[in-house]
Amino acid sequence: DGPVVTIGEILVEIMATTLGDGFLEPQSLIGPFPSGAPAIFIDQVGKLGAPAAIVSAVGDDDFGTLNLDRLRKDGVDVSAVAVLPGAATGSAFVRYRADGSRAFVFNMRDSAAGKIAATAEAKAVLAGAAHLHVMGSGLPIPAVHGMIFATIPDLKARGGTVSFDPNVRRETLRDAEGRAAFDRVLAVTDLFLPSGEELAMFAEGAGEEDAVAHLLAAGVREIVLKRGAAGASHFDRDGRTDMPGFAVEEIDPTGAGDSFGATFLVARRAGLPVERALRYANAAGARTVTIKGPMEGTSTFAELDAFIAGAIVRSP
Ligand code: ADP
């Protein structure tokens, strides 16, 4: 079987060690940590032992090498990650406020991630994919957009599947072109992985049940709604399954949705029933939020089994 493949940004995250409102005075920092939503997702796929590959670009700097080393170590094929001479790997500085919200400084403009291109290596990896995971954040990048829509017809023709994490801001959906790109992906999506907030954005005022019914009627086979600490809900033509989350202390929420989605996908591809896949996915999300650093909390099946054995389920 071919790999699960995703396309998108790789960067590093550098975190302030104290709570506060931004970076207006010198901070004590921890990092760099490997990051980027598509990178976290594919790292989790690799850790679970499933074939995994990412199409991306990094600079020829330590931040790029740090990411490539981590992804390789966790079993991800990085042959389609271009190392661009003279380009810089992007970075995000993050500081948590006392209320749990985050202040960011992004150094992404002109970074390597914006220069992802349809190289020969990228085309080769995409031609062999068994599954494509689309991140909404990549759709506005023309080369990424182009590769996604160039890949999907052949992928579907050979029996491959598509998952879609919208990862979107309201402004993007208000823009006609942005909305059209999202609708075009949704029309070919097998597994849709929105947060509750994102589903509401897509539904444009329709209630959750109506929005779900509409998507299922339009051909989406499975929808998994991510509900943060409350867990997740799964919908398909057979009905609805709610799965409460695990009770943990949240230290760093970055990456939870990505490791959740990757785990649900791999569990289902391995033939596990919905309930077990949801439980594993909730465990992956919960482990991620207890560990500092976006990719530091990705998990093997052995780690998830150990976590579930010792964990407490939050009462609904
Ligand atoms: P996203 O990161 O995409 O916004 P969520 O915040 O809903 O998505 O997190 C994804 C999943 O991670 C949740 O469905 C849940 O399984 C798990 N999760 C997230 N936050 C917590 C938390 N505080 N406690 C336990 N599990 C959590």
Asked if residue 150 lies in contact with residue 5, where contact means CB atoms within 8 angstroms, the answer is: no
Stretch among 49-58, 97-106, 115-124 having the lowest mean pLDDT: 97-106
Nearest atom, ligand 1, residue 254 CA: 2
Give the residue from 120, 104, 85, 81 showing the smallest Cα distance to 21.
Answer: 104
Please tell me if the CB atom of residue 162 comes closer than 6 angstroms to any atom of ligand 1. no
For 157-188, the DSSP string reads HTT-EEEEE----HHHHHSHHHHHHHHHHHTT
At 314 the pLDDT is: 77
Residue-wise pLDDT tens digits, 125-179: 999 999 999 999 999 889 999 999 999 999 999 999 999 999 887 788 888 888 8
* Centre of ligand 1 from the C-alpha of residue 249, in Å: 12
Residue range 45-73: average pLDDT?
98
Q: 224 pairs with which residues across the strands?
A: 234
Complex ipTM: 0.98
Q: Whats the size of the chain, residue-wise?
A: 316
Reading across the β-sheet that carries 11-16, which strands appear in turn? 29-35, 11-16, 90-96, 102-107
Average pLDDT score over residue span 201-214: 86
The four Cα atoms 103, 290, 254, 107 give a dihedral, to 10 degrees, of: 60
Model pLDDT, residue 16: 97
Q: Is there an atom of ligand 1 within 6 Å of 195 CB?
A: yes
* Atom nearest to 255 CA in ligand 1: 2
- Given this model, what pLDDT does residue 149 score? 97
